Amino acid sequence: WRRHLPQAGLLSATQLVNEWTAVFEKEGIPEARESSEYIVAHVLGAKTFQSLRPALRRQPLTPGQLQCIQELSGRRLQRMPVQYILGEWDFQGLSLKMTPPVFIPRPETEELVEWVLEEAALRPHEADAQGSPLILEVGCGSGAISLSLLSRLPQSRAIAVDKGEAAICLTLENAQRLRLQDRIQIVPLDVTLEGSWAHLLYWGPLDLIVSNPPYVFRQDMEQLAPEIRSYEDPAALDGGEKGMDIIEHILALAPRLLKDSGSIFLEVDPRHPELVSSWLQSRPDLSLNLVAVRRDFCGRSRFLHIQRSGA
Ligand code: GLN
């Protein structure tokens, strides 16, 4: 990346953003301007470039700041996602630490969280005697979903499971960072392993299971952006031939863990509502019903609410 180094001199933040935007555009880096703005703002101690005072944007950068910006921008040239470059990212207003290869929470997943919160507000009576709903998140990654639910539902408790060691460590770090560690159990667990769920019975019947599982169709894995393919753990994305492998495991174990009318909320691919619906019809023994499907902000059917019909 050194060949891209803008001429040293009295460069301001604004000039550097413009220089790197031009380099990123030339190299075909997606979101060129956003990327350079985030990097420069981060080095100057701000979250967004727009939030920097105009005087600060015009002021010459120190050699240390300049070197840091060059170094981080070089990583973006290698297609590293900006979330990993900055080492933190906001989700539902919470600042979470982000480290590769742990899956980076996407903006649409915030809509899944909002939906869960809406439903929770509709039936507070379903919480247990202490009024503290128990939530299980399968495939917690950075902990984004569990931690944002815990912060918005003050009485709730969560169990967050993931099979990846890096994810478990990062969720723990994020829980501590947000001082939510006393309300969350973080358990290394692979839901595809026979009997692994038995472990979870210890905490009692669940009110809710929520997950953004790996759901990418195997044939689509090759088409993922370089940012995803080269940096994120494929295990967080690859859902098998029809993207259903982990979804099926979650649905199959849910009835054993959920309360009688407990709910499952899932983020899925737009092809999944139909696939999940017919899969559930083939498994009447599970007593699960697809009760609602929601669209994401792009209008694609991406979120499922499945409910256990009290057996
Ligand atoms: N929508 C995700 C993507 O960016 C896939 C997420 C998942 O498999 N959970 O590719």
User: Closest Cα to residue 145, out of 177, 179, 175, 173?
Assistant: 175
How far does residue 214's CA lie from ligand 1's centre (Å)?
Answer: 7
d(CA 159, CA 134): 8
Pocket test for ligand 1, best of 237, 272, 296, 302 (most atoms within 8 A of CB): 237
CA-to-CA distance for 269 and 276, rounded, in angstroms? 11
Among 107, 78, 25, which Cα is nearest to 230's? 78
Contact between 306 and 264 under an 8 Å Cβ cutoff? The reply is yes
Residue type, 228: I
pLDDT of residue 2: 57
CB distance 76 to 85 below 8 Å: yes
Work out which ligand 1 atom sits closest to the CA atom of 212. 9
Q: By the 8 A CB rule, do 205 and 262 touch?
A: yes
Cβ of 216 below 6 Å from ligand 1: yes
pLDDT at site 280 = 98
Specify the amino acid at residue 40. Answer: V
Q: What is the pLDDT of residue 131?
A: 63
CA of 150 to the centre of ligand 1 (A): 23
Q: What is the DSSP string of 163-230?
A: S-HHHHHHHHHHHHHTT-GGGEEEEE--TTSTTGGGGGGGG--EEEEEE----B-GGGGGGS-HHHHH
Count of alpha carbons within 13 angstroms of residue 76, beta-carbon side: 31
Mind listing the pLDDT tens digit of every residue in the chain (311 residues)? 555 555 556 899 999 999 999 999 999 999 999 999 999 999 999 999 999 999 999 999 999 999 999 999 999 999 999 999 999 999 999 999 999 999 999 999 999 999 999 998 877 655 555 568 999 999 999 999 999 999 999 999 999 999 999 999 999 999 999 999 999 999 999 999 988 888 899 988 999 999 999 999 999 999 999 999 999 999 999 999 999 999 999 999 999 999 998 999 999 999 999 999 999 999 999 999 999 999 999 999 999 999 998 64
Partner residues linked to 265 by β-bridges:
210, 305
4, 48 contact by CB (below 8 A): no
Q: According to DSSP H, which parts of 27-106 are helical? A: 32-43, 54-58, 63-77, 82-86
Look at the alpha carbons of 105, 178, 294, 284 in this order and tell me if their dihedral is positive or negative. Answer: positive
Q: Which pLDDT does position 199 carry in this prediction?
A: 85
Q: What is the pLDDT of residue 185?
A: 97
If DSSP codes are grouped into helix, strand and coil, which group holds residue 267? Answer: strand
CB 303 within 8 A of CB 112: yes
In a 13 Å sphere around the CA of 304, the CA atoms on its Cβ side amount to: 27
Pocket mutation for ligand 1, best pick of 111, 212, 265 (most atoms within 8 Å of C-beta): 212
Q: Is the CB of 35 under 6 A from ligand 1?
A: no
Rounded distance between C-alpha atoms, residue 41 and residue 220, angstroms: 34
Query: Quick one: pLDDT at residue 120?
Result: 87
State the Cα–Cα distance between residues 250 and 43, nearest whole angstrom.
41
- Pocket of ligand 1 contains residue 144 by CB under 6 Å: no
